Amino acid sequence: MTTIRITYAEAVADALKIEMRRDPDIYIYGEDVGKFGGSFGVTGYGVFEEFPKRVLDTPISETAIVGTAVGAAAAGLRPCVEILFMDFLPIAMDELCNQAAKFHYMFGGQMKCPIVVRTALGAGMGAAAHHSQSLEALVCHIPGLKTVIPATPYDVKGLLISSLRDDNPVVFLEHKMLYNTKGEVPEGEYSIPIGKADVKREGTDVTLVCYSTMVHECLAAADILEKDGISAEVLDLRTLVPLDKKAVLESLSKTHRLVIVHEASLTGGFGGEIAAIAADEGFDLLDAPIMRVAGPDTPVPFSPVLEKEFIVKAPRIVASVKKLLG
């Protein structure tokens, strides 16, 4: 299959166009996704131009955006809605968590709710406390929701295609600092299974479990550690729910040491779930305590200097690994 080098944002748009050509029941709506092209420019890569009647602007109301998507999905359509910042997804938590997530269960499997909620998370662009949070742990706690969080253009295209074909509600998380990153992506249609992690780098001394932007930081840390004779394996979860526990335990069986890295604040972060799985199901594999590297338990600062300190970077990961290895 021929590959092209494109940005993460272009890969998202490519997946949307492929699936909208295939399935006329898919439509997109959200704030400024139409002629404006989306606040992060995603639907500006030809999506609105090709499907002007199926890419619709909405009022600034997360409740209305997700609530109408639930009704549309119940009626047989397959909405893909955009919530501009994940910080505002809690406004629609009733519609998402009390309705969409529970349809299949409460109707005894007779009703589907095929919604994809795309939203941007994360710090790094100086957007301050109301527009910079990583709240993935909130939606991971709700049975009935799938949570996908890809780190590369290749993964985002393949996973978005799979998400648009899924009959369950999917929260699809795109880090705003990844939109301009580039990578090799196959032309045309392909899919990546939801719930399958990916080893981005093989290693033998320690496993770095990560997702989203932290995949790139962990890869950078692994390069630094290699110079000091430490072999780090980088495991990109790609999907948080369903979680590929098998991949985590298989990697741990090789390295016997685990460092979990995420940008979100430490307390209540998804890293705690991974640590619990390792302790519950892989305790005998561990040769050292489990270590978590995460953001501090504070709002994301507006100050560029403070925001830089908030975000986990490769040197901090390196220091944590060396501390773990003694």
Q: Is 130 helix (H, G, I), strand (E, B) or coil?
A: coil
- Using alpha carbons, select from 219, 231, 221 the residue that is nearest to residue 255: 231
Tracing tokens 């390295």 back to the chain, one arrives at 255
Q: Is 148 helix (H, G, I), strand (E, B) or coil?
A: strand
Q: Which of 104, 130, 131, 216 is catalytic?
A: 131
- Could you confirm whether 141 is annotated as catalytic? no
DSSP string, 218-244: HHHHHHHHHHTT--EEEEE--EEETT-
- Using alpha carbons, select from 133, 139, 137, 172 the residue that is nearest to residue 156: 172
DSSP string, 183-203: EEEESS-----TT--EEEE--
Cβ partners under 8 Å of residue 240, min gap 6 = 136, 140, 147, 148, 149, 211, 270
- In this structure, are residues 206 and 255 in contact, taking their beta carbons and an 8 Å threshold? yes
What are 147's strand-pairing partners? 171, 241
Determine the Cα–Cα distance for residues 137 and 302; give it in Å rounded to an integer: 23
Determine the Cα–Cα distance for residues 145 and 310; give it in Å rounded to an integer: 29
Cβ partners under 8 Å of residue 144, min gap 6 = 100, 101, 102, 103, 104, 105, 168, 169
Determine the Cα–Cα distance for residues 131 and 190; give it in Å rounded to an integer: 32
What are 172's strand-pairing partners? 118, 148
Cβ partners under 8 Å of residue 212, min gap 6 = 121, 122, 134, 149, 150, 151, 173, 175, 178, 262, 263
Question: Which residues does the annotation mark as catalytic?
Answer: 131
